[in-house]
Structure 1
Amino acid sequence: MSSNLLPIHPTNDDDLDAPAQTVGRYFNRELSWLAFNRRVLEEATNRAHPLLERLRFLSISGNNLDEFFMVRVAGLKGQQLQDVEQRSADGMTVSQQLAEIAVQADRLMGEQQRIWLSIRDELGAADINVLGVDDIDGDAADWLQIHFRDQIFPILTPQALDPAHPFPFIPNKGLSVIFDLKRKSDGENIRELLMVPATIPRFVRMPGEAARYVSMETMLRRFSGMLFPGYEVMGSGAFRIIRDSDLEIEEEAEDLVRHFRSAIKRRRRGRVIRLKLESGMTPQVEALVKLELGGSDALITETAGFLGIGELEQLVDEDRPDLKFIPYAPRFPERIREHAGDCFAAIRAKDIVVHHPYETFEVVLAFLKQAAGDPDVVAIKQTLYRAGKQSAVIKALCDAAEAGKSVTAVVELKARFDEEQNLLWASALERAGVQVVYGFIDWKTHAKISMVVRRENGAYRTYCHFGTGNYHPVTARIYTDLSFFTADPRAGRDAAQIFNYITGYVEPTGLEMLSMSPKGLRTRLCELIDAEIAHVREGRPGALWAKMNSLVDPAIIEKLYEASNAGVQIDLIIRGICCLRPGVPGMSEHIRVKSVIGRFLEHSRIWAFGNGKELPNDGAKLYISSADWMPRNFDRRVEYMLPIENRTVHDQVMDQVMLANLLDNEQSWELEPDGEYQRFDPGDRPFNLHRYFMTNPSLSGRGASLRNSDAVPKLSLRRRR
């Protein structure tokens, strides 16, 4: 089944039988992201998912698109306004990219509206109704009028638009409705603007067992007489804006915390990037809104449908378990249970990997809580990129500091859209006595590392946790990530050097296990790929498997092309952006790229190198990491790459996690040489990797006792080519 996508790089040289030199070597980064969001959107039409879960995918696609404009398109617009001439890696100018983005984004938004109409009909058939103005009568109308009068009317502030009342500031993602009115007493015309406050839910649920929802804009129109007594409504129109929400960091900032607090306030007033208008506005109103908000800079689009697709998420909260995924309760790792819940004893015995969300994030919290309460623990060091609003991680660190332990927290202020929350956590940590460090001004600390130093037998032992995802209890329930625990002294010494680099700018020397960026991670990856090329040239198989969120870095892409031309077999599992063009003769014919979109968000970064044999094999070089293969991860972020040497952990990550991702054919898409993504056809041998992990224990849970039994179904790779 085709995804019906246009090529994500609009070149004129996509004759794939032509020599490789004439074929575009890269797909455009921004258009590749839009192709990813289209795959997310298509899950809203996937009838293998329950109805409300399909609605959730629709709302996610809307929120994704909002953020794309707030950050990526805002950045391009900034370049355009400054006459930046730099072309993207695929050769497009800023103006060309913005023009194509506008076309593709409008097409995507049109699909969202079409899918919403279809889902709304299906919701009605399932007794979940979204009512229009004409659908409300009888007792329902009476209840709604009272609710509007008592709960909503006092919050609203109509504003006249005339020479004495200039057009007001509209907040980011703000929904507003303009009314054209005529005074009944003398026929005078007046124009009123109503901004819907962010504190008001987009939908009101009517009382009763039957689920009946009314949107805010429907209520505004229904009760316009209450809002504007003595006036006749001649017309109305809604609009919604997206503002530039990226933060620019001044390298000369004298006080980083104060700078961020100021920048967060400025972000709320960023320039308008996208203006969405409800179709049917009068020409005069449309011209006014465009003049006041759009100017010549904003991308403007009209729609006859629902403005703010992301806000449909409110409907997903309806208590209808029959229309949602069957709840899943994560497992607690049995290895730690076997040690009576003692995390340190379990880790001392052998390295452990925990596969989230199938195995609970509570084990990470248990590790930190045990460290906070253990009198033999003398120090804890922790990076914090995103921790969520209700963070047990923060509490554990505060408890440890208040118990007299030396606690250091590296809080990343530049975690996009979490800056304000992270400032709050930093203040709370400092009040508890934690040494808070903000890292580098021009780099983000993206590595997820925790280390605990403990007195044992007259000496000190270091326990480490390395994560591919954030210390965030909410995302840990929906993101697939790995948590790796080890007491290997080499890992402890390397982790200590990385923390010293972040806190004191002391550059690491002689790292024993870890590789890190921005100090050589790209170089180390190229060395590993070169080793596979050398194996092929010496007559042995060369193989590479890599799983990540995005592949953008031109240097790595060129190295992968070189490896493909040498005969290295490359399988890439890239959920989101992929700028590499696979399957082109003479350039990338041995490279295959797939994307997995399903119930859980594939987030782990795992890389495997055959080491002279086909994959999978016991001697393969296997790594986990916090980094995607993007320039920012190699050059502007602190990241880590860690080899997996323990046999049991190696087996789990290689023979379960990576193999299952490659075998999945129910929620996978393959990237074609022309840029289209084709959904896999499961045929008569369907395999769903999320279902597999939800119903089977992990190999690391009980080690050899599971590996040598039939408790875990054995996976084997049926090579496609």
Structure 2
Amino acid sequence: MAEADPIQSIKASGPRYFNRELSWLNFNQRVLEEASNPAHPLLERLRFLSISGNNLDEFFMVRVAGLKGQQLQDVDLRSVDGLTPAQQLAAIGEHADALMAGQQAVWLELDRQLRGNGVTVISEHDPLPEEDELWLRSHFLSQVFPILTPQALDPAHPFPFIPNKGLSLFFGIVRETDKEPVQELVILPGTVPRFVRLPGDNARYMALETEIRRYSNLLFPGFAVKESVLFRILRDSDIELEEEAEDLVRYYRSAIKERRRGRIIRLENESGHAPAMEELLQAMTQGHEAMSVDIDGFVGIGDLDALVDEDRPDLKFTAFAPRFPERIREYGGDCFAAIRAKDIVVHHPYEAFDVVVAFLKQAASDPDVVAIKQTLYRAGKQSAVIRALIDAAEAGKSVTAVVELKARFDEEQNLLWASALERAGVQVVYGFVDWKTHAKISMVVRREGTEFRTYCHFGTGNYHPVTARIYTDLSFFTADPRAGRDAAAVFNYITGYVEPKAMELLAMSPLTLRQRLVDLVDAEIAHTRAGRTAQLWAKMNSLVDPAIIEKLYEASNAGVEIDLIVRGICCLRPGVPGMSENIRVKSVVGRFLEHSRIWAFGNGKALPNNGARVFISSADWMPRNFDRRVEYMLPIENPTVHDQVLDQVLVANLLDNEQSWALDSDGTYRRFETGEKPFNLHTYFMTNPSLSGRGAALRNSDAVPKLSLQRRR
């Protein structure tokens, strides 16, 4: 009698994957939980609350918009867990409404505590001293009133266009002379800040809609206001690239404008409105089939981030100044000399992103540098990286910049940077029409004597000086000729579609990265079947790819011990007997956003060990990263860098129990218990030196504390 197929038996026993969208909502719930964490200062808790709000906005504008489009077009494309678009939208609506209710509850509590600490958001009916009333009235008349355009809603006035994320006030008013009711719409101008700060030492803020309501008699003289309701819309903001687009730049310039007029996806309005308001909202969204929610509280929770800028260091995290790598200082600030001596890894934000900028600035000013090639996915608005590339081009060097136009919500900024670079003489390339260039690579070619040497930077994060202060990422610098040749091959593939026949160090999406990863997992399976220890550690932002998840299930069934640190979406279902019982998944959410992608394979021994195979990458484990993006995966061979990435970064992430959540087999996340040995990985890295960038400074100081990992069962 033939043996039953164990994989088919598992598939028949229940769902093998968690839904991607619901997993993301779970992640945003963890972000919201940090807003209630008493270990965080009050304004930092408010920051987490606003992040959860902005995250949810983007989720609706992109992910939900995509599902809604599938539903409206009768596309029966099921998720990996078997749900139709309609089923997913129903589940999302339920979970998102609960999440928003939680946000309002958190805001009520934070508002109460902030008031107790001298930070007040003034409500419409709060009494104010006469001098404050006079100041506010003057502010309204001079700064707000001239910009407002009330519009009557009647057959003679068509409903006006409201931009994405636009806030509007509906007023039900009555003319005092003849008691005639009138409906008015006031779109809040996006050019005016959501909050105005009143003069004085005490932090007192008033929301724009509160100010308008407070002085509505000045806006509608001769009318009595009977009702006012604030509402907000979210529109489809994804840009779908048309295959026949002949000019990518022109297409994106047009698409960015069209995005502002996308289909209404979400309608949020204050609860308790009258039937007339309900009719108005239905008329406004007719044909859009938008999801609607009544909010009992603050509409547009993400806008509360404006209050975080208040100068109250006592209500924020203790200021942290990142270290500049001592290895660079030992060489008198000469980045090339330091990298030429030995590979170096820089751990952001604990070590300054300034070193990446210094690397490019030195390349721009060095007369021996002949060429610079750089990928740009997100560079920020005030980018020193762009300035360095412009300086290099103006100095006569050959400079190539791969600017990714498809970086969502950064398309417009990237178009501006591309224009500035082209004006300076930089060769700007936009990569592939169908794929995003997501790899973070910089290479500098320098004349040294009679030969040329290539210096490379490989990053797990973007060349973005602002996010580099709050995202944990790795910057790897090397002068290894193999890495230089591989980097050149990647750029040639992007700029000239020249597919590399073989690479010496790197694996690259969409060509070889997926198979390289599968081969590494298969090697661990072979180790355990040969009776050797088999282990896999991996850190990433998202785990979605079904084929890779199946490979991990196979490894678990073979006896490979797997620990995954997945900050956000995780579709893998851990801890299921006969399927994933040897897989553990945790998520770290804290002061910094865990963003680095690091993978380690035991290679026949327990992790960590000197012979482990360690890799850094720009890719998460998602279909898009393997199949529709240009990504890289790089082995770490230098012993010191190997120790830092494996024994420091990965071990610290696994040890953390103060800001970590464990994923259970039923899809719920539970916060770790600190027990007798609390460990916060962010605090550890803020207070302890790294290994790679310290050089002689490390030898002349106390050793880095040795981290020891006790296995979780």
Answer yes or no: same fold by TM over 0.5. yes
Report how far residue 291 of structure 1 moved: 2.1
For these two proteins, the number of residue pairs brought into alignment is: 704
Alignment-derived partner of residue 103 in structure 1: 94
Structure 2 residue matching 1:699: 3-state secondary structure: coil
2:148·2:188 contact (CA, 8 Å) conserved in 1? yes
Structure 1 residue matching 2:294: 3-state secondary structure: strand
The one-letter amino acid of 1:55's match is L
Q: Distance in 2 between matches of 1:632 and 1:208?
A: 51
Q: Distance in 2 between matches of 1:23 and 1:188?
A: 63
Deviations 1:508-561 (A, max 9, x none): 111000000000211110000000000000000110000000000000000000
TM-score of the aligned structures, taking structure 2 as reference length = 0.98
Report how far residue 293 of structure 1 moved: 2.2
Report how far residue 709 of structure 1 moved: 7.0
- Which consecutive residues of structure 1, in runs of 5 or more, have no partner in the other structure? 1-17
Alignment-derived partner of residue 12 in structure 1: none
Structure 2 residue matching 1:134: 3-state secondary structure: coil
Report how far residue 292 of structure 1 moved: 1.1
Q: Distance in 1 between matches of 2:647 and 2:696?
A: 14
Q: Distance in 1 between matches of 2:356 and 2:163?
A: 38
Q: 1:292 aligns with which of 279, 284, 292?
A: 284
Report how far residue 287 of structure 1 moved: 1.8
Q: Distance in 1 between matches of 2:329 and 2:444?
A: 20
Q: 2:108 aligns with which of 108, 117, 125?
A: 117
Percent sequence identity over matched residues?
A: 75
Alignment-derived partner of residue 4 in structure 2: none
Q: 1:209 aligns with which of 201, 207, 219?
A: 201
Structure 2 residue matching 1:383: 3-state secondary structure: strand
2:437·2:631 contact (CA, 8 Å) conserved in 1? yes
Structure 1 residue matching 2:146: 3-state secondary structure: helix
Q: 1:133 aligns with which of 109, 121, 124?
A: 124
Matches within 5 A, 1:180-219: 180-219=172-211
Q: 1:491 aligns with which of 479, 483, 491?
A: 483
Alignment-derived partner of residue 522 in structure 1: 514
Structure 1 residue matching 2:692: 3-state secondary structure: helix
Report how far residue 295 of structure 1 moved: 4.5
RMSD: 1.1
Structure 2 residue matching 1:135: 3-state secondary structure: coil
Alignment-derived partner of residue 48 in structure 2: 57
Deviations 1:550-595 (A, max 9, x none): 0000000000000000000000000000000000000000000000
- Which consecutive residues of structure 2, in runs of 5 or more, have no partner in the other structure? 1-8
Q: 2:332 aligns with which of 324, 340, 343?
A: 340
Deviations 1:390-441 (A, max 9, x none): 0000010000011110000000000000000000000000000000000000
Alignment-derived partner of residue 540 in structure 2: 548
Are residues 1:582 and 2:574 paired? yes
Structure 1 residue matching 2:105: 3-state secondary structure: helix
Report how far residue 215 of structure 1 moved: 0.9
The one-letter amino acid of 1:494's match is D
Deviations 1:205-235 (A, max 9, x none): 1111111111111111111100000001111
Alignment-derived partner of residue 5 in structure 2: none
2:234·2:267 contact (CA, 8 Å) conserved in 1? yes
Alignment-derived partner of residue 272 in structure 2: 280
Q: Distance in 1 between matches of 2:670 and 2:124?
A: 41
Structure 2 residue matching 1:106: 3-state secondary structure: helix
Q: 1:470 aligns with which of 462, 482, 488?
A: 462
Q: 2:29 aligns with which of 25, 38, 48?
A: 38
Q: Distance in 1 between matches of 2:288 and 2:493?
A: 46
Report how far residue 280 of structure 1 moved: 1.5
Greater CA deviation, 140-149 or 337-346? 140-149
Structure 2 residue matching 1:702: 3-state secondary structure: coil
Q: 1:648 aligns with which of 629, 640, 644?
A: 640
Q: Distance in 1 between matches of 2:682 and 2:286?
A: 44
1:272·1:294 contact (CA, 8 Å) conserved in 2? no
Are residues 1:428 and 2:399 paired? no
Q: Distance in 2 between matches of 1:687 and 1:515?
A: 34
1:648·1:703 contact (CA, 8 Å) conserved in 2? no
Q: Distance in 2 between matches of 1:467 and 1:316?
A: 29
Q: Distance in 2 between matches of 1:707 and 1:318?
A: 42
Report how far residue 704 of structure 1 moved: 8.0
Alignment-derived partner of residue 400 in structure 2: 408
The one-letter amino acid of 2:211's match is M
Q: Distance in 2 between matches of 1:283 and 1:611?
A: 67
1:275·1:294 contact (CA, 8 Å) conserved in 2? no
Q: Distance in 2 between matches of 1:296 and 1:63?
A: 22
Report how far residue 324 of structure 1 moved: 0.2
Are residues 1:670 and 2:662 paired? yes
Q: 1:70 aligns with which of 61, 79, 82?
A: 61
Alignment-derived partner of residue 321 in structure 1: 313
Q: 1:356 aligns with which of 333, 348, 352?
A: 348
Greater CA deviation, 656-665 or 274-283? 274-283
1:439·1:445 contact (CA, 8 Å) conserved in 2? yes
Q: 1:372 aligns with which of 346, 358, 364?
A: 364
Report how far residue 20 of structure 1 moved: 6.6
Q: Distance in 1 between matches of 2:308 and 2:456?
A: 38
Q: 2:294 aligns with which of 292, 299, 302?
A: 302
Q: Distance in 1 between matches of 2:453 and 2:208?
A: 59
1:20·1:584 contact (CA, 8 Å) conserved in 2? no
Alignment-derived partner of residue 158 in structure 1: 150
Deviations 1:299-351 (A, max 9, x none): 00001110000000011111100000011100000100000000000000000
Are residues 1:635 and 2:627 paired? yes
Report how far residue 703 of structure 1 moved: 4.8
1:582·1:672 contact (CA, 8 Å) conserved in 2? yes
2:326·2:695 contact (CA, 8 Å) conserved in 1? no
Alignment-derived partner of residue 217 in structure 2: 225
2:457·2:477 contact (CA, 8 Å) conserved in 1? yes
Alignment-derived partner of residue 459 in structure 1: 451
Q: Distance in 2 between matches of 1:324 and 1:642?
A: 37
Q: Distance in 2 between matches of 1:373 and 1:49?
A: 44
Structure 1 residue matching 2:244: 3-state secondary structure: coil
Q: 1:697 aligns with which of 678, 685, 689?
A: 689
Report how far residue 252 of structure 1 moved: 1.4
Instruction: Point out 4+ residue stretches in structure 1 off by more than 6 angstroms.
Output: none
Structure 2 residue matching 1:45: 3-state secondary structure: coil
The one-letter amino acid of 2:74's match is D
The one-letter amino acid of 2:566's match is I
Are residues 1:263 and 2:248 paired? no
Alignment-derived partner of residue 377 in structure 2: 385
Report how far residue 181 of structure 1 moved: 0.8
Alignment-derived partner of residue 442 in structure 1: 434
2:264·2:288 contact (CA, 8 Å) conserved in 1? no
Structure 1 residue matching 2:145: 3-state secondary structure: helix
1:159·1:194 contact (CA, 8 Å) conserved in 2? yes
Matches within 5 A, 1:227-246: 227-246=219-238
Report how far residue 296 of structure 1 moved: 5.6
Deviations 1:614-652 (A, max 9, x none): 100000000000000000000000000000000000000
Report how far residue 118 of structure 1 moved: 0.4
Q: 2:13 aligns with which of 22, 27, 31?
A: 22
Q: Distance in 1 between matches of 2:79 and 2:344?
A: 42
The one-letter amino acid of 1:92's match is L
Report how far residue 701 of structure 1 moved: 2.2
Q: 1:88 aligns with which of 55, 72, 79?
A: 79
Matches within 5 A, 1:136-147: 136-137=127-128, 138-147=130-139
Q: Distance in 2 between matches of 1:93 and 1:291?
A: 28
Structure 2 residue matching 1:669: 3-state secondary structure: strand
1:55·1:316 contact (CA, 8 Å) conserved in 2? yes
Q: Distance in 1 between matches of 2:523 and 2:700?
A: 33
The one-letter amino acid of 1:153's match is F
TM-score of the aligned structures, taking structure 1 as reference length = 0.97
Deviations 1:663-684 (A, max 9, x none): 0000000000000000001011
Report how far residue 21 of structure 1 moved: 3.7
